[in-house]
Structure 1
């Protein structure tokens, strides 16, 4: 393991931007508060006794991604970890260390923050479902969906969102090394917006991981999952190679 990961991750997790990102994981818990008021905000609906926990979690992941604010917060975190340190001269402290090790540790730290956010969102969803939503008529109380097709759809949907979000962060890393904060934010948001509509577009859905949520019934679960992983690995490798080259050419 990269010996730089631990100290860099410790530095990253202490940033206010990191805590802002992790803070969005409490989103499901807002249902506990919203249901106290007469409002249509965040109202759920489903056939009686049909919604399992995993389906609820899949819906939470989808809404969080479409909300855009968590993505913006993570892009802001990337900017503070890369461009701001480059612009301020802090990267000079690493001048005697192999640059690929620095890049790897920084990318791993940012992605680890996202993984923490993902896990805490799962926990918050679990609490919300079994402490509150389980009493609603539209929930089943079961952890898994009753039908295999529904389970496969949720897995593909969550996997697509998980991987496309990480691609968005990697694109932001590559942009932040070469470009200013404004352009990095713009590129990250544009990619996120394009990925929002990908599942609805006939051609684009095949080229982004989250586009396969609508294709699982057509091409099968195994093929959909394989394509998600393949696309993620190809795009991630291309983006990483570009980022690594740019980082090595960077002048402190």
Structure 2
């Protein structure tokens, strides 16, 4: 992380798109409102006394990712930080600064927004679980699951979602440098949709990080975690390398 990160982050965090992204972290709190009405929307179900907080948080992460809206918001943030600044000429202000440093500062700023969103989602999930859901018959009131296998599944599942979201952000960065806003949004959404179905397809689950949530029992926790992290790093380096090359050769 270079000296540009702080000023770039201050600029990024002031954008309305950044606040929209972080705003999705209040999603778990909607359960407090929904349960006041007689509706099947967002209703949870599990065997009596079985759902721990960690399992609830894993379910929240999964539902948020499948909603697509947070992903779209982050792609929109990427577009505003890259393509919009390039087309409006704002990027020209950085002409005397090393372009790799500019790229890194912007990427880390967007990642920081996502990390903030992730932490806030954890906190709102904690509040929802221990102030409301702990009184429900299907929750256990414990922080961790009773069985190690369940904990391992949740760790791989949550980490998989975390990683594919970072990859989606990097893909949006690489796309937005050259392509229009519409194409960048389309590419990001297609990637997200592919990752949605990855865990359900035997052939595809081995090639995407979040697919390993269904392979923990088969491969073992340590192996599944190691392969997932290694694969994610390889994908990230390839995408980042392409984005850096494109950004360096960009005329603005």
Whether these two folds match at TM > 0.5 is yes
Q: Which residue of structure 2 lines up, in the alignment, with residue 232 of structure 1?
A: 232
Residue 22 in structure 1 maps to residue 3 in structure 2? no
How many angstroms does 1:232 deviate by?
A: 0.8
**Deviation of the 1:20 alpha carbon:** 0.2
Deviation at 1:156, TM superposition (A): 0.4
How many pairs are equivalent?
Answer: 252
How far has the Cα of 1:227 moved from its partner? 1.2
Matches of 1:38 and 1:172, distance apart in 2: 40
- What SS class does the counterpart of residue 162 from structure 2 fall into? helix
Which 4+ runs in 1 deviate beyond 6 A?
none
Which residue pairs with 2:67 in the alignment?
67
Q: Does 1:243 align with 2:246?
A: no
Q: Secondary structure at the match of 1:178?
A: coil
RMSD, aligned CA: 0.4
Per-residue displacement from partner, 1:187-212 (whole Å, max 9, x unpaired)? 00000000000001111100000000
Partner of 1:4: 4
1:43 and 1:107 map into 2 onto residues whose CA distance is 36
Which ranges of structure 1 fall in alignment gaps of 5 or more residues?
none
Contact 1:61/1:158 (CA < 8 Å) preserved in 2?
yes
Question: Which residue of structure 1 lines up, in the alignment, with residue 216 of structure 2?
Answer: 216
> Are positions 1:118 and 2:118 aligned together?
yes
The 2-side partners of 1:55 and 1:105 are apart by 34
Maintained 8 Å contact 1:159/1:228: no
1:112-139 Cα shifts (integer Å, max 9, x gaps): 1000000000000000000000000000
Superposed counterparts of 1:75-94, under 5 Å: 75-94=75-94
Partner of 1:127: 127
When normalised by structure 2's length, the TM-score is: 1.00
Deviations 1:185-241 (A, max 9, x none): 000000000000000111110000000000001000001111111111000000000
Q: What is the distance in 2 between the residues matched to 1:224 and 1:119?
A: 24
Deviations 1:75-113 (A, max 9, x none): 000000000000000001000000000000000000110
Q: Secondary structure of 1:43's partner?
A: coil
CA–CA separation in structure 2 for the residues paired with 1:227 and 1:57: 23
> 2:198: which partner in 1?
198
Please name the residue that 1:161 is paired with: 161
Counterpart of 1:143 in 2: which secondary structure? coil
* Residue in structure 2 matched with residue 148 of structure 1 by the alignment: 148
Residue number in structure 1 paired with 2:107? 107
Instruction: Give the secondary structure class of the aligned counterpart of 1:244.
Output: helix
Shift of 1:178: 1.1
Q: How many Å separate the matches in 2 of 1:202 and 1:138? A: 31
Per the alignment, residue 97 of structure 1 pairs with 97
* TM-score (structure 1 length as normaliser): 1.00
1:46 maps to: 46
Flag structure 2 segments of 5+ consecutive residues without an equivalent.
Answer: none
1:35 — aligned with what? Answer: 35
